Every structure is written in structure tokens, then in C-alpha cells.
Amino acid sequence: MRKYWDNSGNGASDDTSAAARAGTPVPPSCSLGGVEIHPATVLAPMAGVTDTVFRRFIKNLGGCGLIMTEFTSADGVLKDKRVRGRYLHFYEDEHPVSAQLFGSNPAVLGEAAKVVEDLGFDLVDLNLGCPAKKVVKCNGGSGLLRDLPLIGKIFETVRSAVKIPFTVKFRAGWNEDEIVCVELAKLAEESGLCAVALHARTREQGYSGNARWEWIAAIKDAVKIKVIGNGDIRSPEDASAMVAQTGCDAVMIGRMAPANPWIFRQIAEYTETGTYTQPTETDRYAMIRTYFQMLIEEEMPGTEGKMKQFASWFTHGVPGGAILRKAIYEARNGPEILGSVEEFFEARANQSPVINCQ
């Protein structure tokens, strides 16, 4: 499967159809168990990233149809109210919003899913994709991919525990020799799940190498429930190419979202007009300032660390960004970090040399 960025400058290969080269518009909407998402784009659940501030931040930029929480321990949800407060807190303007759980005990996952439903989430999702060793060691995330019978029990238990739509996100298999994505998707359909999302890599790959979009296409051919494609969408062209080449019903974007928070809006614009706008330096300033202000106002634990974490992503492409990053890293608190950002961009606007960004 060819992605747009595989072909840039060289054109598509001879065995790539004209339709695949041109791409297919991302669907304007997608129904997941009766929950309508407009457009058919999904913010992937990401540990340390998709908290309530980032979700609302992405939502406010426009173009994202569904947002998801960080993946959350089902066991923690039941045993520690602080876990609920930190990972399952959301605001009304986030709807539709899905909560993602991980674990390996069917009964615990069923109870945790019920908590999610009672909290008012629109959907609940099961994580079968996380490749982190500490999660896999506990038979969670992608560690369950080697135990389809247990996955089946989890599907049945969670499905019977809640009335809200139930989805699953998974990887293609443990490694290249143990590809189970089609079998797993069929199991999900048989168990009453309304959609599956495939990150088209194996657990062994982690985040390296290329996503194998043909696995998404194989799932789409095998089941009638909705299929969400994930992996290597770095541009609106990639999103269209994935839809063209796989027939998926929606696209999910993970790591590119913090690197380019406008990507959802760009996909919507590209779908409607065939082109899209790139952010200006003023846009970048407004984006960084808005996100940092939201973090400060939320008063979440570790706000300063989160601001510094995102600085490396958000300042990408900003002329003199290294100077700004240094000032942010050296700042002692949230307001000081925000002041560094404002001073830096004010100096840029005045075209004066930046001497001190602290």
C-alpha cells in the first residue's frame, strides 16, 4: 500500500491505480452503534497526551468527529477514585467522547465499562494495541493478542454489561508470524461490537516501520461492522489514500495530532475543496498560547511538565524555535512559560532579535 508521503516527488508506482493515487474523500460522517461522528475522523487514545485539555483543544480547532481518553486501567477505575478523576474526567462540550479501558479480567472490565457508562461517556473502547512492556507483562494491551478465547470472554462480558456502543482498538498481531486481525475482527462482530479500529502494525513493530494498510482492507472485506483505519496518516492526502485503498469507514490519527493539531481541520478542508491551508506563524502562536492557557486554567497536576513536553511538538517549524524551547525548558512555572511564549512571538512580530526569552 502506497501512502502519499511514499510517492512525493516520484509519482505513484505502476501498480497503484489512478483512484488510489487520487484518494477518496474521508466520509462526512460515520455511525458507531447509533453515535454519529461528523466527520469520520477520530483522535486516537494516547497515554500522557489525550487528557481533557488536549481533547477540548483539538475539538475547538475543528474537524475531529470523535475524541478518546488516555487508555485507563480497568482495575484502577474500580479500586482508586483518583484514577477516575484523572483519566475519566470530561466536559459536556467534548461529546461525542469515548473512554478506552485496558485489562485482562473479563469481570473487572465489565464493571469498569459500567462505570464509564454511568459517567456519561458515549462509547467504551477496549485497548488491545498498547505495546508497552509494563502493560503487556500484565496481559493487557497487545499482550492479549495471543489469547483470542480470553478476548472473546472479555467481549461478551463487556457487551452484556453496558448499553452504550462498544468498540475495540487492536494491532494486527503479535508479530508477522502471528497475524490475527481478521479473526479478531470477526470475533468482535460476532460478539456484538459496533466497530473495530486497527493500528496496522504488529506488537513487535512498536511504532517502527510502515503501517500495513492491506490489513485494514482485509478486515473491511471480512466484516460488516464499521472499520476504522489507523497508522501513518501524516497529511490529508494520506487520509484520503487510506480510505481509497482500504475502504475504511473512518480514519484515526494518533502521533500526528500533537505534532500538527490542525490535521483534522485540514482533512475536512481537503475533503470539501481538494486543498487545505497551512498554519501561519500567527496561527502557531495562537495555538501554543491557547493550549498553555488551557493547561494553566485547568490546574492539573504536572502542568509545567506537560507544557514542556508539548513544546518540542508545538514549536516545530517555528523560526528560532530552539530559542523558544530553551526558554520554556528553563522556566519555573506555568505563567513564566506562557510569558516566554508571548515575549518570543512579540519579538518575532516586531522583527527584533530575541535576546532573552525568559
What residues are labeled active site? 130
Phi (first) and psi of residue 35, to 5 degrees: -90, 115
What nine digits make up the cell of 84?
477516575
State the DSSP code for 194. Answer: S
Q: Count of residues for the chain?
A: 358
**Each residue of 237-253: b (16+ CB within 10 Å) or e?**
bbbbbbbbbbebbbbbb
Distance CA 269, CA 275 (A): 7
Query: 530559542: which residue's cell?
Result: 323
Longest Cα–Cα distance in the chain? 65
What nine digits make up the cell of 274?
481538494
Identity of the amino acid at 6: D
Q: Is the separation of the CB atoms in 100 and 45 below 8 Å?
A: yes
Q: Is the separation of the CB atoms in 263 and 253 below 8 Å?
A: yes
CB contact set of 32 (below 8 Å; sequence gap of 6+): 66, 123, 165, 167, 194, 195, 226
Phi (first) and psi of residue 73, to 5 degrees: -65, 125
Q: Is the separation of the CB atoms in 42 and 65 below 8 Å?
A: yes
103: left (phi over 0), alpha (psi -120 to 50) or beta: left
CA angle 243–64–237, rounded 5-degree value: 35
Bridge partners, residue 41, by sequence: 251
Coil/strand/helix, residue 220: helix
CA angle 32–35–37, rounded 5-degree value: 80
What nine digits make up the cell of 190?
460476532
